[in-house]
Amino acid sequence: MPELPEVETLRRDLRERVLGRTFVEVWVSPDAPRLVREQSPEEFRKALMGRRIDDIGRRGKYLDFILSDGQHLVVHRRMSGNFLHRRDGAGPDPYLRAVFRLDDGSELRYCDLRKFGSMWLVADPALVLAGLGPEPLDPGFTPAELERRVGHRAAPIKSVLLDQRAIAGLGNLYSDEALFAARIHPQRPARSLSRKEFRRLHGGIVAALEQGLRNRGSSLGSSLRDHVNLDGVPGSNQDRVQVFQRTGEPCYTCGTPIRRMRLGGRSTHYCPRCQPSGAMEARG
DNA sequence: AGAGTAGCCTGTAAGC
DNA sequence: TGCTTACAGGCTACTC
């Protein structure tokens, strides 16, 4: 699923490929009525035509295309959204929901099997992005900042990590990986964590995200459903995860079978030995 | 205010 | 074999 490393990988690839290009035609599938949020498909098309892509940013899991008229095309891929960059005349792609033809003859195609993805064309991106928590890879994101933002909450730490208002960009995979790296049980109430544990958790979050970035993201399902790059190629971080979707397989650190539990409505994976829940062990 | 959960979607896999 | 059910998870909207 696209989390921070997958969206950032896409942002970097898009900058290489489409920066400075101009939209010459835009099509939105009538089969995706919820994709464009702020205007009708026709208004969306007219507003984009002739606009140039001046820069591409990211905030949490949102992409931000900054256009030559000052407008922002903000995109969230949710679960199964992918951009593909195709030359003119390339064959069809399944689950195609929108096409952006560019002035070099290429096409930016948006494919999304589950149709959860969203696009907003807005003058002020804060309309969409306000309320997001800090960027976990920014230098200003420190263990103290993490503790200040979530240290009072009674919910399980795993649920809090998924809350985009607390920290922007973590999803199910990188939350589980960060907690394993920090040796913290996912069910621990956030407010029960010690200062030392917040330091470990901060390090775990940064390490999990940076590993994902180094491996160009994680791609777990088939390429039709999960993250791929502009050429349809998956990332490789799924081969390096420690706990995510490894239920029953031995922990790489201690050999104990990885367990799965349900938390915050999500599957949660952890090592019961490396991530102890008891008060005695938690002090470690 | 904070916590928990149904619903949005579609495809895959497990169970009977 | 073929049907039904559970599951996958980011986010919003809703309830308590």
| Residue-level pLDDT at A75 | 96
What is the secondary structure of A33-88 as a DSSP string? Answer: TTSB-SS-HHHHHHHHTT-BEEEEEEETTEEEEEETTS-EEEEE-TTTEEEEEE-T
Rounded Cα distance, A247 and A280, in Å: 25
Residue with tokens 């973590």: A170
Rounded Cα distance, A269 and A258, in Å: 7
Closest by CA position to A61, among listed A141, A102, A4, A118: A4
Active site residue A61: yes
Q: For residue A199, with 0-12 CB atoms within 10 Å meaning exposed, 13-18 middle and 19 or more buried, which class applies?
A: middle
Residues near A205 by beta carbon (within 8 Å), at least 6 away in sequence: A136, A146, A161, A167, A170, A174, A178, A182
Nearest nucleotide, CA A221 to C1'? C8
pLDDT digits (tens, 9 = 90+) for A144-164: 999 999 999 999 999 999 999
- The 3-state DSSP class for residue A152 equals coil
Active site residue A250: no
Q: Please check whether residue A217 is in contact with residue A233, taking contact to mean a CB–CB distance below 8 angstroms.
A: no
Q: What is the pTM of this model?
A: 0.96
The answer to whether some atom of strand B lies closer than 7 Å to the beta carbon of A248 is: no
Partner residues linked to A99 by β-bridges: A27, A109
The gap between A17 CA and B15 C1' (Å) is: 47
The answer to whether some atom of strand B lies closer than 7 Å to the beta carbon of A113 is: yes
| Residue-level pLDDT at A180 | 97
Q: Which of A45, A59, A61, A109 is catalytic?
A: A61
Q: What stretch of H or E contains A13?
A: helix A4-18
Q: Please check whether residue A169 is in contact with residue A134, taking contact to mean a CB–CB distance below 8 angstroms.
A: no
Q: Please check whether residue A133 is in contact with residue A245, taking contact to mean a CB–CB distance below 8 angstroms.
A: no
Tell whether domain A4-129 is in CATH 2.40.50.140. Answer: no
Q: Give the bases of strand B that a protein CB approaches within 7 Å.
A: 2-12
Closest protein residue to B6 using CA and C1' atoms?
A: A265
The gap between A93 CA and B3 C1' (Å) is: 41
Per-domain residue ranges for chain A? 4-129, 143-270
With a cut of 50, list the residues of chain A below it in pLDDT.
Answer: 280-284
Rounded Cα distance, A217 and A127, in Å: 28
Rounded Cα distance, A98 and A76, in Å: 14
The listed CATH number (3.40.50.720, 3.40.930.10, 3.40.50.300, 1.10.8.50) that belongs to domain A143-270:
1.10.8.50
Q: Please check whether residue A186 is in contact with residue A203, taking contact to mean a CB–CB distance below 8 angstroms.
A: no
Say how far residue A271 (Cα) sits from the centre of its chain: 24
| Residue-level pLDDT at A284 | 36
The gap between A189 CA and B16 C1' (Å) is: 40
| Residue-level pLDDT at A229 | 93
Rounded Cα distance, A24 and A257, in Å: 54
Residues near A181 by beta carbon (within 8 Å), at least 6 away in sequence: A200, A203, A204, A207, A208, A242
Active site residue A30: no
The gap between A220 CA and C3 C1' (Å) is: 28
Active site residue A8: no
| Residue-level pLDDT at A1 | 78
User: Could you tell me the strand order of the sheet in which A118-122 lies?
Assistant: A53-59, A62-67, A72-76, A118-122
The gap between A260 CA and C7 C1' (Å) is: 13
Please give the structure tokens belonging to residue A25: 């035609």
Q: Please check whether residue A109 is in contact with residue A14, taking contact to mean a CB–CB distance below 8 angstroms.
A: no
